Amino acid sequence: MRRIVVGVLSLCMLASPAAFAGGAGNGDPSAGSSGGSTAGNSANNNNSGAPAASTQPASAPVNPSPSSAELQSEIDAMRALVQSQSDQIQKQQEELAEMKAKLAGNNGNSPAQPAPSSTISSAAPVAAVPSIAAQPSVPAATSAPASTIESASLSTPGSPAGDEHSPLFFKIGDAKFTPGGFMDATAVFRTENTGFGIGASFGSVPYQNALSATTGPAGLTETRFSVQNSRISMRVDAPVGSATITGYYEADFLGLTAANANVTSNANTLRSRLYFADYKRGPWEFLAGQTWSMLTPGRNGISPWPSDIFFSQDMDTNYQVGLTWARQLGFRVVYHPDKLWALGFSVENPDQLLGSAATSPACFTAGSGSPAACTNVSGQADSTSGGTLSTPPTPNYLPDFIFKVSADPKLGGRAWHFDLAGLVSNFKLITPGAVTGASRATRTATGGGVEIGANMELFKNFRLIGTGYWSDGGGRYIYGLGPDFVVRQATITSPFVPSPLKAESAILGFEWQAQPKSLFYAYYGGAEYGRNFSQDPSSTTTKLVGYGYSTAPTTQNRALQEGTVGWIQDFFKSPNFGKFSLITQASYLTRDPWTAGANPRDAHLVEIYMDIRYTLP
């Protein structure tokens, strides 16, 4: 740049004598030419002996041509000016290089300091002498470095332009990758030992007079510290023509834990939570992968994103009694006609749950007293929790079908949300020919359920939340606290028949953002399972099987209830450096089985959580 500037100035300098010579007189080019011609004619006339005074009076002023000494003096002045400005440019470039070196050496812990004001003022154009005021190239050349310095250092510490924050994402090609997650340090105390972990085992709260080889004697309290709820995630957004595709992965460390994990190493197993791809084009949205079931209540629209799902503010990793939810693989299509409405349909992974509490005819499990022709066919239903390598997962009949509609109106300037979802589930059992004495028999049944939810901002930052769920064959969506169906058999040679079990649940609560960094919440939730039982034809006595009969085991729960209060305090939060929070929860939980036997009418406990969380920016 300096060579270009000096070259332009040199060309101007070499051209200036002719400009000054041609410009002597009145400054009019035509007048200059005329003057030259007149002088020539006068000389010729004088040589011919004609009197010169006849063409120009002696008293008229004559513009004298500049002498060689005067021209040389002006040239020397221009050269000195060019040299001065060249030195100034050199000095400014050295200062700019020094500032760039300082910026390059900055480790990011503090913003770059602004350049001294003298540096900026020295970059101002130098006033030109009158003799070259008509030449604009000199000021233009000297002002260029000034703008460069300003763009590099005119910010002040703490200003948005001076922070120089790194982006919260990185790009590979056209795809934007955004990492996320949080680090949890969780402490939980319970008045009774559930033997389950940091998540409450709602369905197996021990009695206060119980003695268990697993949980110990009654009254044994439980204290646990864990980082298992810490989470990692990655979101990828990529444009595809006029559409966008988004991939999302989320995992925690609540996977299967080794028996001796708490002795020394406290190692925790990574577990996938969400893993899906979402494609949006216009009003249509298509999703495939594992995400929150569309039967889970929402906070905003029909969305797979955790921030748009209601699963409470609880620190309990199993959330709240009464919540209908699942995280499972599904394929969904959602239509968004406008910002108010959304309509969705999903096909989701099924699991016909029988559970460990419900009892079945002896011939179904080839249990004690069953005829010799019976074989254990209980693997057709999930009697555990989905199956492992040693207990194969349930084969299932058809996927679960879920329909949903949501509305997000603005009422009184406040955001409200309503959703309504419907479930259709299918069950199938096969009876071997050895049992029927003829050909193999197949029996099916269809279950269903309805979920309704409301999330209403009654006044600023105060939300009233309510959910309700009624089902006949949808019990597993209430955290699997009871079965979807029971098995019936009319006679010893009759086919096994799946018979759906009624189940319902509800939550009522509020969330209040009292201050920008303080949130208070409270919920009351409950779940209830019906009765469905019959006589076992394999029994020689009047033996009942199913769920909810008079001699049922105490693990067959009739009702469960939980009241929760909590407080979340953010100590600091910023999109640039994340959030540091304290999360607390206190809950009172009761479990009321259909038959208590010699035990108290219900089992109950109190649990208290405290969690320190750092959320990544």
In a domain, 396, yes or no: yes
**396 shares its domain with 273:** yes
In a domain, 442, yes or no: yes
In a domain, 15, yes or no: yes
- Min mean pLDDT across 61-65, 121-125, 320-324, 511-515 is at 121-125
Q: What is the pLDDT of residues 161-176, one digit of tens each?
A: 445 677 788 999 999 9
pLDDT at 72: 82
- Coil/strand/helix, residue 459: strand
In a domain, 8, yes or no: yes
Tokens coding 391 = 């207990």
- Min mean pLDDT across 137-141, 453-457, 513-517 is at 137-141
Q: What is the pLDDT of residues 115-148, one digit of tens each?
A: 444 443 333 443 443 443 334 443 433 343 333 3
Higher per-residue pLDDT: 93 or 348: 348
CA-closest candidate to residue 339, choices 387, 303, 364, 297:
303
CB atoms within 10 A of CB 301: 20
In a domain, 454, yes or no: yes
pLDDT of residue 6 exceeding 50, the answer is no
Q: What is the pLDDT of residues 301-335, one digit of tens each?
A: 999 999 999 999 999 999 999 999 999 999 999 99
**146 shares its domain with 258:** no
* Segment 347-375 mean pLDDT: 89
* Segment 395-414 mean pLDDT: 95
In a domain, 166, yes or no: no
CA-closest candidate to residue 451, choices 317, 365, 322, 273:
322
Mean pLDDT of the chain: 81
Q: Give the list of residues 6+ apart from residue 204 with CB closer than 8 angstroms, or none.
A: 194, 196, 555, 591
**259 shares its domain with 396:** yes
**247 shares its domain with 114:** no
In a domain, 14, yes or no: yes
- pLDDT confidence of 242, banded at 50, 70, 90? very high
**150 shares its domain with 269:** no
**304 shares its domain with 394:** yes
Please name the residue ranges forming H helices in 281-432.
362-365
In a domain, 85, yes or no: yes
CA angle (296, 297, 299) in 5-degree steps = 130
**124 shares its domain with 246:** no
- Min mean pLDDT across 56-65, 85-94, 184-193, 604-613 is at 56-65
**15 shares its domain with 130:** yes
Gap between the Cα atoms of 92 and 61, Å rounded? 49
- Min mean pLDDT across 92-106, 509-523, 578-592 is at 92-106
Write the DSSP string, 522-582.
Answer: EEEEEEEE--EEEE-TT-SS--EEEES-TT--TTSEEEEEEEEEEEEEEEEEETTTEEEEE
Gap between the Cα atoms of 517 and 573, Å rounded? 8
- pLDDT confidence of 216, banded at 50, 70, 90? low
Residue 14's domain spans which residues? Answer: 1-25+69-157
**17 shares its domain with 129:** yes
The residue out of 99, 124, 157 marking a domain boundary is 157
The residue out of 157, 182, 212 marking a domain boundary is 157
Distances (CA, A) of 272 to 26, 154, 252, 261, 359: 90, 48, 7, 20, 32
pLDDT at 110: 44
**What is the count of structural domains for the chain?**
2
- pLDDT confidence of 576, banded at 50, 70, 90? confident
